[in-house]
Structure 1
């Protein structure tokens, strides 16, 4: 890969000869036999692959079959991310308490468990029940294909071989006894953990804490319906801060050459097991794909091949539902269905604990799924002598996401992407946006969702469900009635989920965009309707990020003549929609305050005169050099925006409403005074450049980070941590991650620019620990080396032959 927009080929000094790669494949071009010091031969025999590294440590993995491709991928991921990977494998084995202590904070990347013990009890339970093995044994398409099984087997072997042949230099796990070889089950269990992240994974504490009431347990009243509905709504709103994305596909009708364009900008955690890792995977004549994989996966999560590009955005569909159980008055572990008693299934799970005796707990399961006593701390679901709640998660029987990804990788058009979704039905919690070289576009919310129709919810919701379903899409069905079963669609690959015919789909729109709101306004001129509430809302207020994105991309589509360069400009425009809406009014209202003072929450008068000028002069962007961006951000976070708009939301104009901030409200002046006080107390000048106080530290050096928070509506979203002691914003926790801007110019090679914001390796001793982070700071890109001639002309080319 090369930096910038121009591909350059440098002459070779050495005369090279062809290297025999695989008998079945033929030979690599002569450049692959470059000087001996550029090749490494760590092992011999068994599975094998060739890894060609180019700039920024991006590996191009060449293999003769899927098992070998998995092997090369597992090897290369371990080389960059061995500690992060090993930590995740400890999680899915249920061994965090053994190595790190039962009460330590758990691995938030793979479940919602607050403490290690709860996470271990859940994952040990999954393992002891043989859940993953059963799913692996299911025949395709219900279970993984032979190709995916080979990829998983190869990945485990590649990871293990790297461990055997290399010394770990990352201080995060150097010499640690928890870094161990992995099994095929371990790798598959990681995929399972990601699949249930929005369902059982969201309820780990509630599953592992669920215990039947005893005769001495105080009676608990039913959950308040409105409080529970509000908590369920807030639960999903909180998720958007941790996981989100933007993506837009433009059709040939809007582009300079009649071919499609795609910009993908997922917002994922910058640390831990949900990081992306960049590579190219090639099986000659079978597969050739470049993009980003979630760590631990042998398939490409987001990427492009020679003819199609795709990205994902976290969807609004609710991938679980609850069943309210009516219990036998004589036995709280027996529930009634159509008047007939059914006993819950006991699962005794034992977890080893560091420095103490093993802990054994009982988990309780029903025909609907596990009994659960909470969904997050704010959403209790008490188990009483008369009532309990069971969680239905259809993704707990879904290990198909890798086959979906593999189908995308082999697609030749957006129609093939849609075909892969319909055939495999494997995506648990994301939308898909795609474009192809023929000028087609696609948006679809093809998720694995419980088959909760609005009719079923109306007929079978309990009083609690009648509040939660409209508010959040969380259905609470009457588990005592057999006629409230979810049923099955004829085109669904498993019972109890929606089939492809029910999924929202938008084909060949001039643009198709999503920023984590529902499917309704994927194109503002061609709204999608007719889907069930569990998929998301219709006719409701959109987020500022959605509104800003729709304003931007619709203007781009109307202008036409688009190229990849326009996608690059959109990614780093760093426009702040909230600022465009209210900053001018805020500056004028500030200047009009009597005596230039405002009263803060503590009742003290604050001179805000300087802030008025800073707000007026601010360029309404979140670039690292923007003066006033930090002041506005801190002010915006304090404003109760939902109460301050003069013009309310209108479904007839959803992109432009609500608007006009009511600066006459006392809340505005109070928020302004508090913001000025906060910044001055921290020693931060009101007109500071954003990058001085929004940064990450890598190897002791600050790297300024552009972009803005969710509530500001910035496309280039970042979520940093505020340091009230004076550091400003420091470590970014989540935000723009693997970014790709892809198009086609009619040649054999796609035109692609990429960026992995947090860089390829978590190891501070790696040369690729922060190199792309510095590019991100400077709003620079990496030019994809997709075709052979470009890979082999890389001045950084390094070839590694790996064998098991």
Structure 2
């Protein structure tokens, strides 16, 4: 290692200087005298770890393996059990170790198949794609993670949630374990969706029915939501020189990720001098920065609801149900049996076996349950092997063989301009995100550069026919089933796409560079800048909020707030254009956009309703009284946010697939207009008595929900929405993204309030530059760094977030030294 070689050189020089000193001139010597050099210890891993305020680790190493080693070790200090549990799940062993109560049969079967490495398949097919330095990085991470376990011991692990102290499922891991975990994350928007796993397991084999029970009815919106991975979201704003007061670029990253477990964040700074230097947040258990910044560029992502898979209807050989026809020739369907272990309540184990069926590009599925839920009258057309049409359905997943993401994100972190950032994305390793970036030169970038099946609108029109065209329409493009009998209906092949992937390449995907701004809040690429809309792309690139479709309320408020700041009319700053301060004020404004659009109409209905003279007043009347005094914000001192939250859930029930958008145009006074997509719809149409009744019903539903949960209608929001930390309620501002709160928090109502937060504002960063070499970055991680209740980093940043404060991220050496809270720790193995 470089440091070891330097130490040896200094030792040799010091010995040489001693030999030339005057004090040696009188020393008795003989020809046989020799100087014996002490042995120099060689280290496979050698990293330096320093923590700054709030537990942010800075890791410096001379090579990639050592960088991963330091990262894996410090992550384990803060979050050991979380990753250990997820590795068990990604290995298909959840029922074996957690039993029926904590495990998932569908997950175990699918990932026992997908991540099977008994014959080295994972290494041969997927890890062989990786450059050596990425393999070193991941192996080092596993080694550092294991070192923490060896030093601590399984019986001394901190008691956390999840808790693995003394558990028999704790073990040392290897790099393949991590790659299995990465692979499961890559499949979140496709094969690992619950509804997709169910369709895979419902394919029972020749002669068998697919639906094991009568499916529960679901709306097209429900189904679209399930396929869209719609429990995740995000906001992002990338500003160019024409949108800032300084002329430098500026970026806001605001991913709405889970607060716990898979998909949650860990702040870290990773450095190999002269080669890589990036800071920001890594998904827990990942060895690279996913959202962050470096000396010259900052980037972020938002979840995209583009298609991540398609189905194909395969025509079976009438003489052999394990063959299907393509271009007049038969190909084989190959069965594969998988066995999992299940822990029983009495301590014994049972084995369960399932047979999967492979076609050329993936697995056979059954649509019987899915179709029956949407349209029971069509269910029989999809049941059985074969179906009444003599067919079966097959799945092709865009991310099944995509493990390009680790290298891609490392190259993103090396980029010094948004042009280089865009180049890094061209490997199409991004599984399901829009990408936005800004740089110190004042350039910004937006791109939907991710793994999307290469299925054009023309191909859909030609290859989705018959009952499959009906399914496409009923699911608003969420389910696409193409004709599998024709090879020309298979995914296309762009010259700049990964070889044999069937994905769109960079040149075919929506993107733009700008010196003004780009923003995305989970609708499609269409209006990422309304002054330069991206148009003419297929629905596969974004079936929610696609071109000409109604946009969600966060999209609308994002562009409204950016427009007001560019005009200087938002009250943050008299001068137009963004500063870091005004960008942060926008982030924490907590406006409830649905209230801006509709509350005046609701209050009109309230005042014009003849409420009965009883005491206590009806719930709807009490809800009206509180809403009339509410500030229309989701701040911790706002009184009435809970009333509007429950009202909006009720009024939008059964609406759009994502974020409770009200798509029923009969309710709106001004209907959605594609030519004014960011300004419509608005207002409730009170000329229709049915709408007045609907508003009153929603108010009553809201009141009943709050009464049942023992929540006072006028309690401060910060007493109602909280994060429990060591017996203390930390007030949490922000609110339901479905009602147009930019700072989205996902929390369900339960007894006492919104006390179980699932996700939302997670790692937030605001970044810009001045004439110095050091980026100016303020960030916050809403959950804090550690899951250990005994750690000083368990609730410290959560409390800062509650107070709308930020952590200045020390990037350069002098800032790290000024803010460090630990002595540098040399980690060697």
Same fold (TM over 0.5): yes
Q: Does 1:210 align with 2:203?
A: yes
**2:663 is matched with which residue: 642, 651, 663?**
642
Distance across 2 between alignment mates of 1:478 and 1:576: 45
Inter-partner Cα distance in structure 1 for 2:705 and 2:780? 34
CA apart distance, 1:121: 1.4
1: CA distance, partners of 2:111 / 2:336:
12
| 1:328 maps to which of 317, 325, 332 | 317
2:540 counterpart (531, 534, 537): 534
Structure 1 equivalent of residue 142 of structure 2: 156
Change (3 A) 1:89 1:443: same
1:372 aligns with 2:365: yes
Q: Which residues of 2 match residues 687-726 of structure 1 at below 5 A?
A: 687-723=714-750, 725=751
Return the match for 1:125 from 91, 108, 113.
113
Q: Is the 2:207–2:385 contact (alpha carbons within 8 Å) kept by the matching residues of 1? A: no
1:222 deviation in Å?
14
Q: Do structure 1's residue 578 and structure 2's residue 583 form an aligned pair?
A: no
The equivalent residue for 1:417 is 421
SS in 2 for 1:714: coil
| Residues 322, 474 of structure 1: 8 Å contact kept | yes
Find the partner of 1:685 among 712, 733, 758.
712
1:144 and 2:130 matched: yes
Alpha-carbon offset, residue 440 of structure 1: 0.2
SS at match of 2:482: strand
Q: Structure 1 residues 193-202 or 511-520, which shifts more?
A: 193-202
1:49 matched residue in structure 2 = 47
> Does the CA contact (< 8 Å) of 1:598 and 1:608 recur in 2?
no
Are the equivalent residues in 2 in contact too, given 1:25–1:284 (CA < 8 A)?
no
Asked whether the 8 Å contact 2:50–2:820 carries over to 1, the reply is no
**Rg bigger for which structure?**
2
For residues 315-360 of structure 1, what are the alpha-carbon distances to aligned partners after superposition, in whole Å with 9 as ceiling and x for unaligned? Answer: 1211110011112233332222223222211111111221222222
Candidates 553, 556, 559, aligned match of 1:550: 559
Paired residues of 2:455 and 2:492 also in contact (CA < 8 A): no
| Cα contact 2:709–2:749 (8 A) shared by 1 | no
Offset of residue 596 of structure 1: 6.1
Is this contact kept in 2: 1:24–1:64, CA < 8 A? no
Segments of structure 2 that go 5 or more residues without pairing to the other structure are 10-40, 569-575, 653-661
1:729-753 CA-to-partner distances (Å, cap 9, x unmatched) read 1110010111000001121111100
- C-alpha distance after superposition, 1:539-578 (max 9, x if no partner): 1100011111111112223333421111211111111101
Q: Which residue in the other structure is 1:427 paired with?
A: 430
The 1:548/1:219 distance shift into structure 2, 3 A limit, reads closer
CA contact (8 A) 2:52 2:822 kept: yes
The CA distance in 2 between the partners of 1:376 and 1:753, in whole Å, is 48
Tell me the SS of whatever aligns to 2:772. coil
Residues 439 and 468 of structure 1: CA distance in aligned 2, closer, same or farther (over 3 Å): farther
Decide which of 282, 289, 305 is 1:300's aligned counterpart: 289
Match for residue 589 of structure 1 among 595, 605, 623: 605
How far the C-alpha of 1:509 sits from its partner, in A, is 4.5
| Aligned-residue offset at 1:677 | 3.4
Aligned residue for 1:594, secondary structure, equals coil
| Superposed CA offset, 1:623-676 (max 9, x none) | 011011111111111114433212110011111100111345211112212323
Matched residue SS, 1:201: coil
- Conserved in 1, the CA contact under 8 Å of 2:189 and 2:227? no
2:246 aligned residue: 257
Tell me the alpha carbon deviations over residues 524-547 of structure 1, each in whole angstroms, 9 at most, x when there is no partner: 121111212200210110001111
> Which position in structure 1 is the counterpart of 2:813?
788
How do residues 373-772 of structure 1 correspond to structure 2 at under 5 angstroms? 373-374=366-367, 378=373, 382-385=383-386, 386-422=390-426, 424-469=427-472, 471-495=476-500, 496-536=502-542, 537-559=546-568, 560-595=576-611, 606=618, 608-640=620-652, 641-643=662-664, 644-663=667-686, 664=689, 665=691, 666-723=693-750, 725=751, 727-772=752-797
Residue 535 of structure 2 aligns to a residue whose secondary structure is coil
Is the 1:754–1:782 Cα contact (8 Å) retained in structure 2?
A: yes
C-alpha distance 80-219 of structure 1, shift in aligned 2 (>3 A): closer
Q: Retained in 1: the 8 A contact 2:248–2:769?
A: yes
Q: Show CA shifts across 1:477-510 (max 9, x none).
A: 1112222122311111222111111010121151
Does the C-alpha gap of structure 1 residues 268 and 25 become closer, same or farther in structure 2, counting only changes over 3 Å?
Answer: farther
| Structure 1 unaligned residues grouped into runs of 5+ | 1-19, 28-42, 107-115
Task: Give the Cα separation in 2 of the matches to 1:156 and 1:455.
Answer: 46
Distance 1:558 1:729 in 2: 36
CA change 1:325–1:383 in 2 (3 A) is farther
Pair 1:186-2:177 in alignment: yes
State the shift of 1:767 in Å.
1.5
8 Å contact kept, 1:452–1:475: no
Render the CA deviation track for 1:734-780: whole Å, top value 9, x for unaligned. 10111000001121111100101011111222211111111111111
Q: Secondary structure at the match of 2:711?
A: coil
TM-score by length of 2: 0.86
Shift of residue 220 of structure 1? 11
Q: Distance in 1 between matches of 2:766 and 2:670?
A: 36
Q: 1:17 corresponds to which residue?
A: none
317, 320, 338: which one aligns with 2:327: 338
**CA contact under 8 A between 1:248 and 1:512: conserved in structure 2?**
yes
Q: 326-335 or 705-714: which moved more?
A: 326-335
Partners of 1:488 and 1:86 lie apart in 2 by 39
- CA offset at residue 118 of structure 1? 1.8
Distance 1:228 1:710, change over 3 A: closer
Aligned to 1:88: 86
3-state SS, counterpart of residue 104 of structure 1? helix
Q: CA RMSD in A?
A: 2.7
Evaluate the alpha carbon distance shift between residue 221 and residue 734 of structure 1 in structure 2; reply closer, same or farther with a 3 A threshold. closer
CA separation of 1:689/1:229 partners in 2, compared to 1, >3 Å: closer, same or farther? closer
Q: What is the total number of aligned residue pairs between the two structures?
A: 745
- Residue pair 2:69, 2:143 contacting (<8 A) in 1 also: yes
| Deviation, structure 1 residue 200 | 1.6
- Summarize the Cα distance change of 1:607–1:228 in structure 2 as closer, same or farther, 3 Å threshold: closer
Tell me if the contact between 1:220 and 1:382 (Cα under 8 Å) persists in the aligned partners: no
Q: Is the 8 A contact 1:229 1:467 kept in 2?
A: no
